[in-house]
Amino acid sequence: MLSVINICKNVHINALLVQQIRYKSKTHWAKLKKKTSPKYKAQNHFDEFYGSVFGGKWPPMKETMLRRSKFVAVVNNYGDSEETIDFLTERGAHCLKALMSVQQEFHKQYPPTPTQSDTNTTSLEQYTAKVQFDDISSIYPQDNLPEKLELSDMTIRSSEEEKEVEKQPLKNLTLEESLASAQMDMSRIIDPSMGVTSEALYQYVPATQLKGMDEWVPESLHYSYYAQDKDFPLAIEPETEFSFPEHLKVYTYEMGSEWNMFPEPKRCKTNVMNYYPMDCGSVLAVLALCLSPGDRVLDLCSAPGGKALVALQTLLPDVIVCNDSSISRTNRISRIFRDYLIDFDTSNSWRERVVISTRDGREFTDDIGFDKVLVDAPCTTDRRTINQDANLVYHLARVQDRLSLPDVQPYLLTNALKLVRVGGAVVYSTCSLSPVQNDGVVHMALKHAFETHGVIATVKDLSAPFANLAGTLSLAAGSIAPRYGQLVTPTNDANFGPSYIARLVRVK
């Protein structure tokens, strides 16, 4: 009997142990999954990077981005537009153009304080300095590190401090000098032949780091592209040509409104969809083009075609070339156009006005010159990246795409600056908060376009016209405002974005 009790006890204890082990292992795997899944990796990366750039403003932004995003409805002018407007108005939505006019009147009475600050890069400078410091630390053998080299030594100093520093020879090394004299750490170089699935690479090489064995760039140099050297003509002027296109009908719920979701679009009597739901930041990229009647437009990274569709809804462009390097994604452009433009497949008029092409935007050529070019660049797609695991740039299978972003973005914009005619405009946009992918790319491209092609463009400051969006969405202001573009930041009241929009007008 005793032995039966003992056996039972043992069985019970064993069962408990098994249960505990299972429980433990369950917890363990869940934790492991959490740590390794692409969206958590992205969140960790962003926590570190955006935490440095946006400080205390990042955690609430992240929290908002993890929630359902807000959309506006772009009314389809090729459907029953009056009926659609009635439907949207009855649901409590407002016309964006009207909201902007009201805000403009308000601003006339109570002028807003400027959003673009001259001293707004402190946190980015500090982050850049930290990255440079980390780079040098990793390249120098630890015991060769200059003893007192600290983060603060890498930040911008006053002239008094500069003199003091000059007395200390070790600290006088520039980054280039440091790199030139340093032993190269081969573990920090990507060999492209390693392919895309090297777990080691994924784990230890940040996306901002390197390009290829033959053309390697440490993080610090990548970040230093953002340095404010002005060895090329750089002018920032207020935008004065902005006007809301007469025929573009965008409907939105007010900030903080309880009503903020539109139902699924439906087919009109003309067999096309009644409206196109999209992020308001995406509409701003098209507004920033300042389209005029008869414009010849190039949408260099067009798929799936949302912004090109908005451009067509203004009824202004004569011709729009929708280009994207991905064949499968260009097929989506055709699908969307079929859904929204009457007889898209059969009408000669559309065939003349809409051209779909699949070329690498960096090598796109044209003999005539475009009036407007939109570069809606591939980027880290921040909102999707922290919410989804599948097929995004933080996915293991897409390491190479992520690493190649610094190679692609500035060259797309440089080519756009070449393709636009003198007097025409280029809009560069992303759905990332990264100052490197945003202002950093604009800076690099302006410099590169001047140095390699003699192209000069002026940055048009959109803060005045976009200030009229104050009742609709939130734009980064003060210390977190970009220098060249406008940044739509997600907030509880207006969960749009992130979207970055910069407008450049070619002058030479």
**Cα distance between residue 339 and residue 348, in whole Å:** 17
CB 26, min distance to ligand SAM, A: 38
Comparing C-alpha atoms, which of 335, 400, 326 is closest to residue 361? Answer: 326
CB 284, min distance to ligand SAM, A: 12
- 238 - beta bridge partners? 461
Nearer Cβ to ligand SAM, position 171 or 329?
Answer: 329
CB 138, min distance to ligand SAM, A: 30
Task: Catalytic residue, from 268, 290, 379, 431: name it.
Answer: 431
- Number of Cβ atoms within 10 Å of the Cβ of 36: 13
**Cα distance between residue 49 and residue 51, in whole Å:** 5
The two three-digit tokens of residue 343, written as one number: 């007889």
Pairing between strand 370-376 and 420-430? parallel
431 a catalytic residue = yes
The two three-digit tokens of residue 77, written as one number: 């002018």
Nearer Cβ to ligand SAM, position 329 or 421?
Answer: 329
Nearer Cβ to ligand SAM, position 31 or 335?
Answer: 335
Q: Are 201 and 110 in contact (CB under 8 A)?
A: no
Q: Are 287 and 242 in contact (CB under 8 A)?
A: yes
Nearer Cβ to ligand SAM, position 129 or 419?
Answer: 419
92: left (phi over 0), alpha (psi -120 to 50) or beta: left
**Cα distance between residue 363 and residue 379, in whole Å:** 19
Sites of contact with ligand SAM (CB under 6 A):
282, 300-307, 324-326, 329, 360-362, 376, 378, 408
Comparing C-alpha atoms, which of 29, 34, 56 is closest to residue 44? Answer: 34
CA end-to-end distance (rounded Å), the chain:
100
CB 306, min distance to ligand SAM, A: 4
Nearer Cβ to ligand SAM, position 149 or 408?
Answer: 408
CB 384, min distance to ligand SAM, A: 10
Residues known to be catalytic: 431
